[in-house]
Amino acid sequence: MRTYSNTAWWIIVAGVTLVAFWFGYGATERYYLQQLTAQNQSTLRLVSSGLQGSLLRYEPLTSLLADKADVKLLLSSPQDQDRITRVSEQLRSIAQDIDASDIYVMNSLGVTIAASNHEERTSFIGRNFNFRPYFQEAVQGASARYFALGTTSLKRGYYFASPVRSGEKVTGVIVIKIGVEEIENDWRGSGTEVIVADTDGIIFMASREEWLFKSLNPLSDTALTRIRTSKRYPIEKLSELQSEVTTSDVAGSAFTTITLADSSEAYLTNSRFMSDAGWTVHAMVPKTLADGRTLTALVVATLVVLLLLLIMTFVLQRRARLVRDIVAGARAQEQLELRVAERTNDLNIANENLTKEVAERRQAEQQLLSTQNELVQAGKLAVLGQMSAALSHELNQPLAAIKSYAENARTYLARNKAEQASQNIGHISEMADRMAELGSHLRNFARKPKQATEAIGFGTVIEGVKNIIGPRLKNENVTLNHSGFDDSLVVNAGRYRLQQVLLNLINNAVDAMSEMDNPVVTVFSEVRGHEIALCVRDHGPGLNETVSGQLFDPFFTTKGVNQGLGLGLSISYNIIQDFGGAITAENHPDGGAVFTVLLKQADQVEDAAE
């Protein structure tokens, strides 16, 4: 796009330059022709005044010489050879002084009687020049001037003639001939050609030799006869100069095209007519000079214009680039500002959102705090409830057993069976001890006190458990298989706490099989290295993954609201920990869950049991 506009620009520039060149050429040429005309006219003035000066210089000299006594005497005694020689010698000396070609004296018949060139081969003495118009005029008593080719010397010259008088009578004529070659020489080499033509238009003086004796216009027969008679110019040399004169735009000048041989040249010509001599002087300067100057000026002007255009183009392009840059910069700035404004707006919105969010969070926090407080409160209440529920759960079983033993004892007493009654009362006492132990355990659940342990034989443990759970097993028709419970297996533990653990495990096993017919719980103990294992196995659904992960967590239960508290296993875990043992749970390969309690084997069995 840019290249295209650049090309278009340069085409316009070239077009404008061409048009300007075309129209400018005429004006510039006219200007230079005017200059050339002025220059030519000044050359013409110089040439004319030079010629005029020469004429004026020599004219009075002839009159002066005509008055010379020797000349007059010579004409009165023309046979006096000494006088001839003396006068001729005087004339030679004068000719030398005044730079004249020849000076000579003719008698009234036109015969030369004394001449400055008397000693030369071409001496005029004895020659008759009565055919020359200057003689004919002078002999009539008038001063005459004439231009002609010398018939003897064959040199062109200008003749000044004055009558020599003796009284009123013209006795002879004295003539000064001046050469024109020197004058012509002065014209050469100036670049301006000069020609002088007579009234017939014949060129008799010229800066170029080949133009001599050429006529500027066709010669009439009368003119030719006159020339022949006066022997002014050699007839055979006369010819017409092939020239064409056209007018020029510049006043006072014309164009002269001169053709010689094959070449022709046009000249700007200025002419001047010298009225007293009857000559026309033409100063001719080659027209090519003006053409050359015109061309040079136009080329220089064109180059200057092109240079200016180039500079202008450069400046305009630079300016355009600057404007483009400024506009682009302003646009970029605008976009930047727009983006900044957008970003600021986004940030403001984000800020507002954040502020809103913070406020919401604060509110939520506040709500959470109050909810937490409520939850804590609720949690406290729930724990209280759960604790009381746990207490009632743990106490209900021995209480139910106590009630049953007490009623049986009453029956035995009514039947006077004191021994059995006493046995039942013993059972009741045991139950009371157990409840006391349970109470203390629950009381100490949170603070885990280290209670004293003792060596306990397993045989007594299973018996106590059976006494407590017996009624439930009977009610729910559960079979309890137990093996390996022997007093030879001794561990360091608390009797009732260990029984509580076993009771919890058996109760859970029974709970797990509540939906089954003929549920069987298998309890056994065995020696494993230095430890004694106590295992409780059921045939229930077993333990899934979720359950196994949180079995021993307090309050974890899968049972209904009024059925489980989730404390059994947690309490059992703590008790076994207190004994320095471990409790684990796993699924039996044949189904059901197996809970294993591992306790260190004690060295001996001690009697005391709690």
Q: Minimum CB separation from ligand ADP for residue 428, in Å?
A: 26
Among positions 461, 478, 565, 597, the unique one binding ligand ADP when judged by CB under 6 A: 565
Is 504 a residue that touches ligand ADP (CB under 6 A)? Answer: yes
Q: From residue 469, give the alpha-carbon distance in Å to each of 503, 521, 525.
A: 7, 12, 18
The yes or no reply on residue 508 touching ligand ADP (CB under 6 A) is yes
| Chain length of the chain | 610
Choose which of 407, 559, 577, 586 interacts with ligand ADP (CB under 6 A).
Answer: 559
The least CB distance from residue 438 to ligand ADP, in Å, is 15
Please give the residue whose beta carbon sits closest to ligand ADP in the complex: 568
The nearest distance, CB 537 to ligand ADP, in angstroms, is: 8
In a 3-state reduction of DSSP, which class is residue 73?
helix
556 binding ligand ADP? (CB under 6 A): yes
Q: Is-contact 397 468, C-beta < 8 A?
A: yes
**597 is an interface residue for ligand ADP by CB under 6 A:** no
Check binding of 540 to ligand ADP (CB under 6 A).
yes
Give min distance, CB of 516 to ligand ADP, in A.
12
Q: Which residues pair with 601 in a beta bridge?
A: 491
Among candidates 155, 143, 152, which has minimal Cα distance to 66?
Answer: 143
Q: Report if residue 569 touches ligand ADP, rule: CB under 6 A.
A: yes
Residue 502 touching ligand ADP (CB under 6 A): no
**Whose CA is closest to 263, among 239, 282, 288?**
288
By beta-carbon proximity to ligand ADP, the closer residue of 494 and 564 is 564
- Give the total of residues touching ligand ADP (CB under 6 A): 22
Name which position in 178, 512, 534, 576 contacts ligand ADP (CB under 6 A).
Answer: 512
Specify the DSSP class assigned to residue 79.
T
Longest CA–CA span in the chain (Å) reads 238
- Helical H runs in 197-286? 221-230
Beta-bridge mates of residue 274: 279
Is residue 557 a contact residue for ligand ADP (CB under 6 A)? Answer: yes
Return the closest-CA partner of residue 377 out of 365, 369, 366. Answer: 369
Tokens of 8: 């278009």
CA dihedral 461, 462, 467, 469 (to 10 degrees): 110
Q: Which residues contact 456 (CB under 8 A, 6 or more apart)?
A: 490, 491, 492, 493, 494, 495, 498, 602, 605, 606, 609
Site for ligand ADP in 54-73 (CB under 6 A): none
Q: Quickly count: other Cβ atoms within 10 Å of residue 481's Cβ.
A: 10
Which range, of 14-22, 225-233, 298-306, 509-517, touches ligand ADP by CB under 6 A? 509-517
Q: Does residue number 543 form part of the binding site for ligand ADP (CB under 6 A)?
A: yes
Contact between 566 and ligand ADP (CB under 6 A)?
yes
| Residue 89 DSSP code | H
Regarding 519 and contact with ligand ADP (CB under 6 A), the answer is: no
Minimal distance in Å, beta carbon 545 to ligand ADP?
13
Catalog residues that contact ligand ADP under the rule CB under 6 A.
Answer: 504, 508-509, 511-512, 538, 540, 543, 547, 551, 556-559, 564-570, 593
